[in-house]
Chain A
Amino acid sequence: MDTMTADAIAREALLSRLRALLPAGSVLHTDEAQRPYECDGLTLFRQLPLATVLPSTEAELLAVVQVCRESKVPIVPRGAGTGLSGGATPHAQGVLLSTAKMSAILAIDPVARTARVQPGVRNLAISEAAAKHGLYYAPDPSSQIACSIGGNVAENSGGVHCLKYGLTVHNVLRVRAVTIDGEVVEFGGGALDSPGLDLLAVLIGSEGMLAITTEVTVKLIPRPQLARCIMASFGDVGVAGDAVAALIAAGIIPAGLEMMDQPATRMVEPFANAGYDLDAAAILLCEADGTPEEVEEEIAHMSEVLRAAGATGLRVSASESERLRFWAGRKNAFPAAGRVSPDYYCMDGTIPRRRLGEMLRAIQQMEAKYDMRCPNVFHAGDGNLHPLILFDANDPSSLARAEAFGADILELCVRLGGTVTGEHGVGIEKINQMCVQFPADEREQFFGVKRAFDPHGLLNPGKCIPTLHRCAEYGRMKVHGGALPHPGLDRF
């Protein structure tokens, strides 16, 4: 019997076991049916899995995990598939497990200010359901209309308001999850802490590699009575960066603090009609929220600091619709990039804020070096950059240059004292840059964490933490000046 046949027989056996566990239509195996699952938001990498399963209940999900463990088949969990780092890129020999059918809001407790939801619930749906109690769920990634809370837990997602309100890890009280051992485990709980090690902290942001989330309890907080946003214009991006430091030094923690450079505002404006100052070299969006008195006091204080820091113009949102328009422009930056260019590559490095001017100048030089455009949007409050490299995937040279450009940016982030990913995750996209950020001993300790939860390495294998071998190979490639930082998927 040749190997192909053996593989095909093994696949048939797996499919028939999965079909016996799940209702009809919840196990997909044809290329056509699985096509929507071949990539997540990182569309550079596409791969069809052996099978795609869509459990509707925790019991079904648990049964799938049991079968996969017994058959030694890798599992790649997937939320809404909006992730930008390939965390949900399927495994060629694995099962893709989508939580899309587990999308019920199980309970909202307005007194305890919590929501208990299944992993497939959309981020924004939680806030919509809590709105009648004057409450909301704070983390608001740009994809919040579509992204799921299970995916947010896997990536430790942020958003434009996390400087003041925190990331997913600060807003989740409890995760119920299925381990590869086939056990249902509660991490965290209804109280503010749990006995023993803080495993919830390490589970959040673990990119589906430690356990599969089946239920999440999130904190809800009171919706501020009022929010207003300042749009400040600057003649120079470095001056805008210094203005951010000046705000923080003045003891202000804005509810949101975002920067966009001129290429970004000009890219977004025709798309979003946000009312941005297109003549400014950079704009800052700076938001205050709270009681009307508090907002008035804070807007006055912020305006004073921004003017002193060299803002050439300030516009304060006069209405809720104008404020939302300011934000709509920022939140639509990625779709806008998709409109002006056949493809875009969104980077996610974080740097200490004081290095911002240096970073933006380096990106300008890289634009010249690679002959590509790269508008910048930036969570200025927390140092998280989103340069958007515009390219054409149908042109192999353009793709290769975009990838090399991206790798340069990420490695500069590490050199400036930052990190290769602030909120999008490592996935497969930044796995080579992890070799730059973490020495071998640290990476081996990460594998130790992985083994503690998943001794056989079946949950989302090959993502997030590069092997020693892979880093050695990447090192050689760099030495030889290879242009392609992403070798084929078969290496993962």
Chain B
Amino acid sequence: MADALMEQVRAAFEGGQRLHIRGGGTKDWYGEAPTGGTTPVLDTRGHAGIVAYDPSELVVTARCGTPLAELEVTLAANGQMLACEPPHFGPGATIGGCVAAGLSGPRRASAGSIRDFVLGAKLLNGRGQHLAFGGQVIKNVAGYDVSRLLAGSLGILGVITEVSLKVVPMPVAEATLRFDGIAQHEALERLNRWAGQPLPVSASAWADDTLHLRLSGAAAAIRAARHALGGDPLDAADAAAFWRELREQSAPFFAGDQPLWRMSVPSAVPPLEPDGGLPAAQLLEWGGALRWVRSAQPADVLRAAAREAGGHATLFRRGRSAAAQGAQPGCFAPLEPALLRIHQRLKAEFDPAGVFNHGRLYPGL
């Protein structure tokens, strides 16, 4: 199957054609629409299956088309999991798409991002060469870390055909606590204070003056933390549903037609209120480092607010009504000229003919 993918890429390279890399298509809406509406699709789903998994090595290697759900079931059967709790955004999500999108879930602030757990990858570059970077071991500094560079690359450097990920044991115990009547500034103060203490916090969420906190770890540590923190515990099923709906953005906050902005900022910055106050619709995750904002304000206003706070703003989902309008702001914050130049040169080195996902990350890349 890798051979078929390679043939398709070589033909495109030689014929000067473009390809749109696609797995389950669950994140088609993320990033810019690829330039050229009728670009042929390179479908990764046929290249599937777990290649190697030895739980005692804490490493799993899987082909790109392996369904994320299937991988998670296999890991769970061995008491392990993907540490960053990545979102699926649909039943067809694949591990290749998961790594290429680079999105992480509720556990990200404490456990790390999907990039942090990438140990190795195989890549079909724009010349149709099948290359292997990194490896299947936890520590490896031989050569530049190309496999981690692929996480979040949205396919612009090539097709990730196989990936090796570090996995972690599932926590022995977990508890979710709910705190009502907490204003945003107070939630931020608490979350940053708690993060500076040796507490087993594994996820947090604030919206509508309600703070949810998940604790994961040794049973004794959870007991001690619950005693210290107070709050009202959720029962296990409600807690699991709460974090799943947050991760998959099926919670009520994410419904509706307003554009959804993803503000990634240092966790301790005060509530974002650009232009005399952003609309009230905000949801916080990652201890305050991730702030979802529903807003129809102009992109520059939101981008300026994020930049002044030391972060950046992504137009994560365009609202339906906005999509009908003409000129659209870019999804991702513009790059400084020096950084853009490095991006352009990397693209030219990995995909000299511009075969892959043209314009998906930034125009011209």
Contacts and interface: CB of A to CB of B under 8 A. Distances in A.
B192 A112 contact: yes
Interface stretch (A366-374, A434-442, A472-480): A434-442
B247 to A, nearest CB: 16
B125 A353 contact: no
B24 to A, nearest CB: 23
Contact of A194 (B139, B144, B312): B312
Interface residues of A, number: 96
B141 A205 contact: yes
Given A199-B149, A251-B172, A419 B137 contact: yes
Contacts of A313: none
Interface in A129-180: 133-135, 155-156, 158, 162-163, 166-167, 169-170, 179
Nearest to B143: A446
Chain B: interface size category: 35 or more
Interface string A421-447: 111111000100010011001110110
B139 A199 contact: no
Contacts of B336: 185-186
B4 interface: no
Contacts, number: 270
Nearest to B262: A193
A61 to B, nearest CB: 16
B342 A199 contact: yes
A452 B345 contact: yes
A419 B135 contact: yes
A300 to B, nearest CB: 10
Nearest to A85: B141
A133 B197 CA distance: 10
Interface in B47-93: 54-59, 79-80
Contact of A437 (B115, B142, B338): B142
A66 to B, nearest CB: 15
B113 A193 contact: yes
Interface string B123-136: 00100010111011
A323 interface: no
A246 B343 CA distance: 44
Interface centre among B54, B334, B361 (most CB of A within 10 A): B54
A318 interface: no
A222 interface: yes
B56 A445 contact: no
A64 interface: no
Interface in A376-419: 379, 381-384, 417-419
Interface string A258-275: 000000000000000000
Interface centre among B133, B140, B264 (most CB of A within 10 A): B140
Contacts of A222: 195-199
Interface centre among A248, A294, A417, A418 (most CB of B within 10 A): A294
11 contacts: A204-B145, A294-B218, A352-B137, A418-B137, A441-B129, A445-B131, A445-B146, A446-B144, A451-B349, A452-B349, A465-B143
Instruction: Rank and list the top 4 A-B pairs by shortest CB-CB distance, nearest first.
Output: A448-B349, A293-B220, A251-B169, A452-B345
Interface of B: 54-59, 79-80, 102, 108-109, 112-113, 115-116, 125, 129, 131-133, 135-146, 148-149, 151-153, 156-157, 168-170, 172, 192-193, 195-200, 217-221, 223-224, 264-268, 286, 289-290, 310-312, 314, 332-336, 338-339, 341-343, 345-346, 348-350, 361-362
Given A133-B196, A191-B311, A417-B136, 17 more contacts: A166-B116, A179-B342, A189-B310, A191-B312, A192-B286, A193-B113, A196-B362, A197-B157, A199-B149, A222-B196, A245-B56, A350-B135, A383-B57, A419-B135, A419-B142, A442-B132, A451-B349
